């Protein structure tokens, strides 16, 4: 697919992910351009989260999981021997379905990533923390209590904290695995506003169950069904005149 | 089910639960009450003038002038007793051999008892054992001794179908018609003047060494030994236990061998403690030669083995209970496995690990069987830090057992035994309390 002026950041060629013998993602070809928001939609168990987690190799945590084909981030093949997973994950931030701040202070949460990657200087860390929290629109709410435990924040604040934590290492791409599904509508809309603001600075890949959300926040939408990539295109086009029957059935609520 | 029945069941279940709690509370009260009441008697009691004399001579404590005054008064009060004894001796000399034969043994028994009650008479030959140098130091013991002076205990075996019945006859009857008959009345009425009891707070019971195998003095060597052993066992058990727990929870996976290993660890927790004691003797002392004989070091290692299964299992549970989200978040930020464990998982699991550790600490402090063969002796000096590597030590649990069963004068020093029980229970309760507070603090810190 061609988007003028945008280079492809993430490129999958005949990429598959297996859990044991079960092929959860089946020979997917997709090119995700830089600087845009791409939504992945599809019914439960369609492989969208698995695909997302393949990008930062979080699937490695599952012993029976392996991958086939090629997945490249910025030209770098991800599934080769000798890939430095730490360096990969520095380039790929992730926000999870359930807010999962560490039971540490707000400051230490944000500084966790930079510290792993060798930032020790206190003033430099403080600067990073402030910048990240500002980008996540949380700075004004927490600037006076950076030393407080992050578990004391509300669910929505926690999720924005997790977002700030992810962007503190300045990743090339941000993965979001249903980032608003555990939140109330107000917090959800805040997260959506944030995605809007972060667009351009980061390439965002978001998995969502909520089709209105996908329609609201994304530039591109990919529809997965039973491990196959059925359709990939501009969001406006997918939601108004989908090219495939299955896509239409899904977005009109006939299944899923 | 009908609403009425359900309500009835619900209510009866509640009352059963309530009843169980009350029962537990009562059991606890019944258990703790004698421990506290009798245990405190080791610290607070009516000390006689003999106690104050002993205190000054053996420990160099107390006011010498006040003691001299008290002693003078006491000796003054005792004078009639000795006068009567002297006059009876005169009487024996003057009377015929018949009379002497009749009273000689009874009289010498009486004299012995009075010496035990009031201490050796002034000018008597210095005794070697400290316990022979003083009369009764505690007034409660003095009253019991007085009773022995006043009454002869005998047994009535006329009913052959059962055990002999204990019967007491006044000792005065033995000496009816002699000059000594007056003595018993004098003793009974003036005992307080002769011993001058005073309410005494002996808090140094905790920090004194014992004199003459616990006849006098305190329990410091025992307490110190218990501290050494419990802390020493933790030095071995905590690192080993936590490392094992991390391995089992994070690295071992779910293979057959690993599940066998888990089962073994669980079974180890059920092995009788005396077996650990014998193992410690056979392995640490006889095979590994960590010390030439019993030592605090060998005892600590044995106790560590005993508590290791508890620490491992509880720590593993605590590590596994850490939410998966923490792990994922840490990994997704590029942290390696070890960094994730050290910085995220262990701090979050800390309350659970800490709880198991403190429970184990209490257990190690109170265990008797494992240290019988590996560390404990019945009498000893307080050890210096480096002596623990090679020297055995007295310790509270073992010495409680020892005093209760093997001491030559168990009845005379019950108060020491109860004092030890009280101290041990207090120590363990204190440890648990610290644990609860610490845990609450950390949990609060983690929750925010």
Residues in chain B with CB shorter than 8 Å from the CB of A112 are 330, 333, 335, 343
In this complex, which of B334, B445, B448 lies closest to A117 when CB atoms are compared? B334
Q: What is the pTM of this model?
A: 0.84
Q: Over 60: is that where the pLDDT of A4 sits?
A: no
Residues comprising chain B, all counted? 448
Mutate which of A61, A112, A179 to test chain B, going by most B C-beta atoms within 10 A?
A112
pLDDT at B240 over 70: yes
Please list the residues that pair with B135 across neighbouring strands. Answer: none
Spatial CA neighbour of B245 closest among B156, B177, B314, B164 = B314
Cα nearest neighbour of B335 on chain A: A116
**Does residue B84 contact residue B182 with C-beta atoms inside 8 Å?**
yes
Interface of B with A in 321-350 (CB under 8 A): 323, 325-336, 339, 343-344, 347-348
Q: Which of A92, A98, A117 sits opposite B325 (nearest CB)?
A: A98
Per CATH, the architecture of B220-447 is what?
Orthogonal Bundle (1.10)
Which tokens belong to A173? Answer: 């791409």
Name the pLDDT band for B178 (thresholds 50, 70, 90). Answer: confident
Question: Does residue B434 register a pLDDT over 90?
Answer: no
A170-187 per-position pLDDT tens digit: 999 999 999 988 889 999
**Residue B328: closest CA among chain A residues belongs to which residue?**
A58
∠ Cα A139 A144 A148 (to 5°): 95
pLDDT at B157 over 90: no
The secondary structure of residue B388, as a DSSP letter, is G
Q: How many helices (H) and strands (E) does chain B have?
A: 17, 6
pLDDT digits (tens, 9 = 90+) for A60-109: 888 888 888 899 998 889 998 888 888 899 899 999 999 999 999 999 99
- Contact (CB<8Å) B348/A103: yes
Residue A3's pLDDT band (cuts 50, 70, 90)? low
Chain B interface test: which of A54, A89, A103 (most B C-beta within 10 Å): A103
Averaged pLDDT, B378-384: 90
Cβ-defined contact of B446 to A150 (cutoff 8 Å) = no
Half-sphere CA count of A105, side-chain side, radius 13 A: 10
Per residue in A152-174, pLDDT (tens digit) is 999 999 999 999 999 999 999 99
The percentage of residues in chain A with a pLDDT greater than 90, rounded to a whole number, is 52
pLDDT tens per residue across span B341-354? 999 999 999 988 99
Q: Does A98 touch chain B (CB under 8 A)?
A: yes
Q: Inform me whether the pLDDT recorded for A236 exceeds 70.
A: yes
Q: Is the pLDDT of residue B136 over 90?
A: yes
pLDDT of residue B349: 93
Task: Tell me how far apart the alpha carbons of residues A220 and A37 are, in angstroms, rounded to a whole number.
Answer: 6
For chain B, what percent of residues have pLDDT higher than 70? 100
pLDDT at B144 over 60: yes
- pLDDT tens track for A105-138: 999 999 999 999 888 999 999 999 999 999 999 9
Query: In angstroms, what CA-CA distances link A236 with A6, B60, B125?
Result: 18, 97, 115
CB contact under 8 A, B344 and A102: yes
- The rounded distance, in Å, linking the Cα atoms of A226 and A26 is 8
What residues does each domain of chain B span?
49-200, 220-447
Query: Does residue B253 sit at the A interface (CB-CB below 8 Å)?
Result: yes
Rounded to the nearest integer, the mean pLDDT of chain B is 91
For A113, the closest chain B residue by CA position comes to B333
Cα distances (Å, whole numbers) of residue B390 to B19, B285, B298, B377: 52, 11, 9, 13
Q: What is the pLDDT of residue B320?
A: 93
The pLDDT of B362-373, averaged and rounded, is 93
Contact A61 B323 (CB under 8 A): no
Q: Which of A2-11, A195-204, B38-47 has the highest mean pLDDT?
A: B38-47
- Percent of chain B scoring above 90 in pLDDT: 70
How far is the alpha carbon of B237 from chain A, nearest alpha carbon, in Å?
Answer: 27
Residues contacting residue B246 through CB under 8 Å, at least 6 positions apart: B315, B319, B341, B346
- What percent of chain A is predicted at pLDDT more than 70? 98
Q: Which of A116, A170, A182 to mutate to test the interface with B (most CBs of B within 10 A)?
A: A116
Residue A2 has what pLDDT?
Answer: 52
Separation CA B301–CA B236 (nearest Å): 7
> Distance between CA B279 and CA B354 in Å, rounded?
27
The confidence score (pLDDT) of residue A206 equals: 94
The first and second tokens of residue A207, run together, are 């998995």
Asked if B81 contacts B194 with a C-beta cutoff of 8 angstroms, the reply is yes
* Nearest by Cα to B357 from B201, B178, B205, B231: B231
Q: A75 at the B interface (CB within 8 A)?
A: no
How many pairs of residues across A and B have Cβ atoms under 8 Å apart? 78
Q: Which of residues 45-74 of A touch B (CB under 8 A)?
A: 56, 58, 61, 63
């Amino acid at each position: 697919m061609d988007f003028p002026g945008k280079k492809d950041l993430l490129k999958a060629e005949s990429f598959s992910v297996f859990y044991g013998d079960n092929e959860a993602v089946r020979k997917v070809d997709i090119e995700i351009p830089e600087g845009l928001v791409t939504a992945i939609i599809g019914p439960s168990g369609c492989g969208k989260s698995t695909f997302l987690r393949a990008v930062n190799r979080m699937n490695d945590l599952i012993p029976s999981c392996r991958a086939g084909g090629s997945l490249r981030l910025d030209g770098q093949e991800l599934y080769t021997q000798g890939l430095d997973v730490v360096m990969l994950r520095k380039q790929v931030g992730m926000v999870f379905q359930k807010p999962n701040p560490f039971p540490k202070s707000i400051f230490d949460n944000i500084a966790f990533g930079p510290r792993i990657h060798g930032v020790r200087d206190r003033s430099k860390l403080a600067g990073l923390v402030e910048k990240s929290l500002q980008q996540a629109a949380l700075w004004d709410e927490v600037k006076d209590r950076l030393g407080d435990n992050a578990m004391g924040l509300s669910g929505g604040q926690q999720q924005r904290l997790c977002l700030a934590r992810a962007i503190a290492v300045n990743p090339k791409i941000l993965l979001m695995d249903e980032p608003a599904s555990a939140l109330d509508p107000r917090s959800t809309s805040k997260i959506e506003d944030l995605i809007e603001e972060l667009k351009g600075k980061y390439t965002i890949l978001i998995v969502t169950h909520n089709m209105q959300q996908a329609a609201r926040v994304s530039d591109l939408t990919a529809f997965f069904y039973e491990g196959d990539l059925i359709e990939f295109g501009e969001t406006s086009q997918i939601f108004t005149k989908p090219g495939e029957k299955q896509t239409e059935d899904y977005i009109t609520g006939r299944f899923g | 089910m009908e609403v009425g029945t359900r309500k009835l069941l619900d209510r009866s279940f509640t009352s059963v639960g309530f009843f169980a709690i009350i029962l537990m509370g009562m059991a606890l009260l019944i258990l703790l009450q004698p421990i506290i009441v009798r245990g405190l008697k080791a610290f607070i009691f009516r000390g006689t003038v003999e106690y104050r004399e002993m205190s000054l001579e053996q420990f160099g404590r107390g006011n010498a002038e006040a003691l001299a005054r008290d002693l003078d008064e006491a000796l003054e009060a005792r004078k009639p007793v000795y006068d009567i004894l002297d006059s009876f001796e005169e009487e024996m000399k003057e009377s015929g051999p018949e009379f002497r034969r009749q009273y000689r043994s009874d009289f010498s028994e009486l004299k012995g008892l009075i010496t035990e009650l009031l201490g050796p008479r002034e000018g008597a030959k210095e005794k070697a054992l400290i316990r022979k140098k003083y009369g009764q130091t505690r007034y409660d013991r003095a009253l019991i001794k007085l009773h022995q002076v006043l009454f002869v205990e005998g047994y009535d075996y006329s009913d052959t179908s059962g055990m002999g019945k204990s019967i007491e006859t006044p000792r005065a009857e033995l000496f009816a018609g002699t000059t000594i008959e007056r003595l018993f009345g004098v003793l009974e009425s003036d005992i307080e003047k002769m011993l001058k009891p005073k309410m005494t707070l002996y808090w140094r019971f905790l920090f004194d060494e014992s004199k003459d195998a616990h006849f006098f003095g305190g329990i410091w060597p025992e307490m110190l030994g218990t501290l050494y052993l419990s802390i020493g066992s933790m030095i071995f058990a905590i690192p080993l236990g936590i490392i094992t727990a991390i391995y089992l929870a994070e690295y071992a996976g779910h293979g057959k061998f690993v599940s066998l290993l888990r089962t073994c660890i669980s079974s180890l927790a059920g092995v009788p403690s005396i077996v650990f004691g014998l193992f410690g003797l056979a392995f640490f002392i006889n095979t590994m030669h960590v010390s030439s004989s019993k030592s605090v070091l060998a005892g600590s290692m044995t106790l560590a083995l005993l508590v290791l299964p508890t620490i491992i299992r509880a720590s593993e549970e605590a590590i596994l209970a850490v939410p998966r989200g923490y792990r994922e978040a840490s990994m997704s930020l590029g942290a390696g496995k070890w960094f994730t464990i050290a910085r995220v998982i262990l701090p979050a699991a800390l309350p659970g690990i800490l709880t198991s550790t403190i429970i184990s600490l209490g257990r190690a402090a109170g265990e008797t069987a494992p240290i019988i063969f590996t560390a404990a002796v019945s009498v000893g000096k307080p050890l210096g830090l480096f002596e623990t590597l090679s020297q055995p030590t007295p310790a509270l649990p073992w010495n409680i057992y020892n005093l209760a069963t093997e001491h030559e004068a168990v009845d005379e020093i019950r108060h020491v035994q109860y004092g030890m029980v009280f101290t041990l229970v207090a120590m363990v309760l204190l440890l648990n309390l610290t644990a609860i507070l610490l845990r609450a603090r950390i949990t609060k810190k983690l929750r925010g």
